[in-house]
Amino acid sequence: MPSFSFNRRVSLKIATAMAIPKALLLADAANASSPEWIQGIDDSEAAVVNDLVRTFMQQYSVPGLSLAMTYRGKLKLLVCAGYADTTSQTAVAPDHRFRIASVSKPITSITTMLMAQSGRLQLDQPVFTTLLPEFSSEISRLGSSNQRRLQSMTLRHLLEHTAGGWGNRTADPMFTASALGMSHHDLIRWTLNNRALAHDPGQHYAYSNFGYCLVGRVLEKRMNMSYENVVRKYVLEPSGLQDQTLKIGGNTFAERQTNEVTYYGQSEEAYHRIMDVKRMDAHGGWVGSPTDLVRLLTGIDNQAKPSGLLQPKWIKIMTTASHANPGYAKGWSVNKQGSWWHTGSFNGGSAILARINDGHSWAMTMNTRSKKKGYSSALDRLPWDIKRSIKTWGSHDLF
Least confident of 114-123, 232-241, 283-292, 303-312: 303-312
> So what's the pLDDT on residue 36?
75
CA atoms within 13 A on the CB side of 277: 26
286-305 confidence digits (pLDDT tens): 999 999 999 999 888 766 56
pLDDT at 252 over 70: yes
> So what's the pLDDT on residue 244?
64
Quickly count: other Cβ atoms within 10 Å of residue 382's Cβ. Answer: 23
Strand duo 286-288 + 74-85: pairing:
unpaired
Quick one: residue 67, left, alpha or beta (phi over 0 = left, psi -120 to 50 = alpha)?
A: beta
pLDDT at 188 over 70: yes
User: 218: closest CA among 360, 115, 347, 326?
Assistant: 115
Confidence category of residue 29, pLDDT binned at 50, 70, 90: very low
pLDDT at 10 over 60: no
Least confident of 34-48, 74-88, 274-288: 34-48
> So what's the pLDDT on residue 5?
33
> So what's the pLDDT on residue 3?
29
Confidence category of residue 240, pLDDT binned at 50, 70, 90: confident
User: 245: closest CA among 256, 255, 259, 234?
Assistant: 259
Q: What is the spatial distance between Cα 342 and Cα 11, in angstroms, rounded to a whole number?
A: 29
